[in-house]
Chains A and B, each alone.
Chain A
Amino acid sequence: MSVPEFFTPAWAEDVRAALDQGPGEDVRAAKLPAYWDWIAGVRAAYASSWALGVRDLPGAGPSYLRLGWKDGTCSEAAIIGPGDPLEATYVLAADLSTWRGLLGGQDPGRIVMYRGLRLQEGDVVRFFRGIYFFVESVAVIGRVPARLP
């Protein structure tokens, strides 16, 4: 099976499927069950959407991976290109170098704390009510294979 290119519809679909499945047992085993229970509680009621952008995709300009959540599942994953209308509860963006780091195994929580990934639109305080769900979802995205430019 060929590895899809980064920020293409095929990669977005792989991301959606991986998020739907959630982290594997090896990842879950490294943290307390109470932590995953907290995340499961947030996920079950989560109805917000995220747009995760890459600011400097060569030849494309700023593009976004839009992810929608409904009834505990990742119900939508789409690539929004430059100039296309973008609507999401929370819009975040990072440079390609940050995405490279994430796909190379860097800690997503640290990427947030060091502002590699910045919130561009959306209520900060409300966004953080689901922060561990978000961070573990970004970690899942980082484990989805992609051919980087």
Chain B
Amino acid sequence: MPEMSPEKVTAVEESALDRIHDIDIDDVIDYVHKDLKRLPGYLDLYRRYLRQRWDVYDIDFTRDAHDWTERMTGEERDAFVAISSGFHHGERQVEVELPVFMLGGSEESRIYMSSQIEDEARHTVFFDRFYREVVGLPGESVQEVLDASFEHVSETFVGPFGLLAYQADELRADPDDIAARVRYGTTYFLWIEGVLALSVMKITLSYCRNRGLLPGYYAGFTATCRDEARHVQFGMRFLRDAVQEDPRLLTEIHETLRTILAINQATSRRVMLEALGWSAEEVRRLMIRQLTMKLTDVGIGLPPDLRKLIGGIQPELAGG
């Protein structure tokens, strides 16, 4: 990957919410990866969080609501909802599953983790607002809006997110069990955030930018993507340090990836990606690239069976 220019780095790092619509999603995704070879410390990421935190209630969805009803086709709306519902529920899942991870690790890790939990709660509110104010789903409570969007969530969502829920239960028994933390971290930081979330961001944000649609969504979700950069960098640092300290933990990453990639082969619904300007093959290649870049940059080697499974990755659209 070519180096990001200092101007682009500054723009991504320091743009306030009212200027973030000027940033291209590709620059934010480059920003996620730019530090993977020299991963920042946990307190550096916490300081960055304090600078980059945004107010989810500052987003104005007025023009989005107009675009949704007047400028988008029915096919585009269906595809958009099918993809973003995986994120709506994904954000809720990770917000609920993350606190148990904070119980273990160093004090620096716990301090940083408090910021990520707050990020995930804010992202859940972002989608709650989007579904109420733009898509027009009914609901008095956050849960009722989640219930209303659930019909759009694929049956295969339970694969990675159910796995995370059960791994969180496993971790609850002993939050300092490093093998359980590495398995959990592989599912959450590497796959859900590092591959699924970034792929959905790229697809929906490229669509918004290319078509000049949904400016509130674009601003909030681009800010969300910038938050994800910290999450992914934290997670990759955690996995890298864990394996460097005890190389036997590499087998925990491999075993978890075997499960993730095995269940990724199942597809229960066809999403009309073409309506958003994407093909299934392009999404597949995007996901493979997201995964291999992180594994390579962090120095996680793979046995041949896993390399083969990665080559067969199927489009899967959710995130958190």
Contact = CB atoms under 8 A, between A and B. Distances in A.
Interface of A: 31-32, 34-35, 38-39, 107, 109-110, 112-115, 118-119, 124-129, 131-132, 135
20 contacts: A31-B155, A32-B269, A35-B155, A109-B157, A112-B158, A113-B93, A113-B161, A113-B162, A113-B165, A114-B165, A115-B165, A125-B259, A128-B163, A128-B166, A129-B258, A129-B263, A131-B158, A132-B263, A132-B266, A132-B268
A31 B268 CA distance: 5
B256 interface: yes
B266 A129 contact: no
Nearest to A115: B165
A124 B263 contact: no
A44 to B, nearest CB: 15
B157 to A, nearest CB: 7
Contacts, number: 82
A119 B162 CA distance: 11
B108 interface: no
A35 B268 contact: yes
Contact of A31 (B165, B255, B262, B269): B269
A52 to B, nearest CB: 15
Contact of A132 (B93, B155, B166): B155
A129 to B, nearest CB: 5
B221 to A, nearest CB: 23
A107 B269 CA distance: 16
B181 interface: no
Given A113-B161, A131-B162, A35 B156 contact: yes
Nearest to B151: A107
Nearest to A133: B266
Interface string B238-263: 00000000000000000110110011
Contacts of A127: 166
B74 interface: no
A50 B255 CA distance: 21
Interface string B140-170: 0000000000100001111101110111011
A128 B268 contact: no
A107 B150 contact: yes
A129 B259 contact: yes
